[in-house]
Amino acid sequence: MSLVISEPDLAEWELLNRAQHAVFARKQLRKFGISHDAVRANIRAKRWQRVHRGVIALFSGPLSRAARISAALLYADLPASLSHRTAAQEWGWLRKDGGPIHVTVPYGTSAVPQEGVVIHRSRAFRHIVVAHDPPRTSRADTVIDLAVAEPDERSAERTLLTVASANGVAADEIKAQLAARPAYRYRTALDRAVRLLGEGLTSMLETRYFLDVERAHGIPRALRQVPVSVFGRKLLEDCSYESVGVPLIVRLDGRAYHSDAETAFRDRRRDNSAELSGMARLVYGWQDVDSNPCAVAREVTTVLRREGWQGPMKRCRKCLGT
């Protein structure tokens, strides 16, 4: 059964067909004069397929990711926005997969979850969506949604810190969005995470060092991004323990991911300056912190104690083998 679209409607039809990847809501089809009987006949003939209630794909066979996204948004009905894991995938933070499409709608909307579609509701919907095609939650709100979806406060704090630092989402952006959507889970934990982010956790490596080395092992929290004058240049040290009376600098070397001659020169200058001033220094890369944070913690604690810190080192779950 071939479709006959009237000449005045043809341009709009072709635009929607491209934009929605050949997926339509039934009410859209009715607008173009395609009756319920015509839809049913095409589905029975396996030329078309029903994707969700009230949503039809005008083709047979597997749906592309783009078609599944269109189907989910059409099912939820506008206004609706990609959110949570799906928004994070669209921002490029997570690998795209065949999992369910996460959609957020305004609070009070009647849509219910369907197979392949997870529905979320937000009282702050108008504050969280940014103009994209297709629409999605803002970078800051996507971070918040991923954190709020965690099963407990500690996981929520960790997710906010790691996702935000890994993807360059600033503390001020997240803080502003948290203020616009005050009814959220884990409020204390997320506020604390934003504060930590604002105090200098500027990369995933720095965040993992704080979470898996310092906090997990009871090591005092270093001052972050401490300005130092190095041979007439103002540079920043990643972690300084001078605030607890220990002349120790820990440099977190991310050059496995961000290597360039200027960075290497800057780090050599910092190393030389620390040596000349009698400052103890330790250097760790991603592999050190990711694969064996307990060994890193033992080394940092050894220097801290050698220089006079008397605090105990806590054994984390990895240390205990649990």
Q: Tell me the per-residue pLDDT of 277-294, one tens digit each, with 9 for 90 and over.
A: 667 889 999 999 999 999
pLDDT category, 231, cuts 50, 70, 90? low
* Pair 25, 55: CB distance under 8 Å: yes
pLDDT category, 233, cuts 50, 70, 90? low
Residue entry with tokens 């679209």: 5
Residue 208 carries which side chain, given as an amino acid letter? Answer: R
Residue entry with tokens 């290597």: 259
Q: Tell me the per-residue pLDDT of 133-179, one tens digit each, with 9 for 90 and over.
A: 999 999 999 999 999 999 999 999 999 999 999 999 999 999 999 99
pTM for this one? Answer: 0.83
How far apart CA 296 and CA 283 sit, in angstroms, is 10
What is the b/e burial string over 126-147, where b = at least 16 CB atoms within 10 angstroms of the residue's CB? Answer: eebbeeeebbbbbbbbbbbbbb
Q: Tell me the per-residue pLDDT of 193-228, one tens digit each, with 9 for 90 and over.
A: 999 999 888 889 999 999 999 999 999 999 998 876
R_g of the chain, CA atoms, integer Å: 26
